[in-house]
Amino acid sequence: MATEIDTELMATNFFFRNQSSFFRGKVRDVYTLADKYIVLIACDRISAFDNVLPKAIPYKGQILTHISSFFLDNCSAIIPTWKISTPDPNVTIGYKCEAIPVEMVVRGYLCGHAWRVYKSGKRIICGVKLPEGLKENDKLPHPIITPTFKNHAGHDEDVTMEDILEQKLCTKKQLEKMSEASLKLYERGTQLAAERGLILVDTKYEFGIHDKKVMLIDEVHTPDSSRFFYLNSYEKAQKAGQPQKQLSKEFVREWLMANGFWGEKGQLVPEMTPEFVQSVTDRYVEMYETFIQTKFVPRDYTNIQDQIEKAINESIEKLEF
DSSP designation for 5: G
Separation of alpha carbons 201 and 305, rounded Å: 36
Separation of alpha carbons 31 and 154, rounded Å: 23
Q: What is the pLDDT of residues 237-292, one digit of tens each?
A: 999 999 998 888 888 988 999 999 988 888 999 999 999 999 999 999 998 999 99
Q: What is the pLDDT of residues 134-172, one digit of tens each?
A: 999 999 999 999 999 976 655 678 999 999 999 999 999
Q: For the stretch 105-138, what's the b/e string if a residue is b when 16 or more beta carbons lie within 10 angstroms of its beta carbon?
A: bbbbbbbbbbbebbeeeeeebbebebeeebebbe
List, in order of start, the domains of the chain with CATH numbers: 6-96+248-316 (3.30.200.20), 99-240 (3.30.470.20)
What is the distance between the terminal CA atoms of the chain, rounded to a whole angstrom?
45
Separation of alpha carbons 75 and 144, rounded Å: 19
Contact in structure between 148 and 105 (CB atoms under 8 Å): yes
Tell me the sheet residues that pair with 28: 42
The structure's pTM equals 0.89
Rg of the Cα atoms in the chain: 20
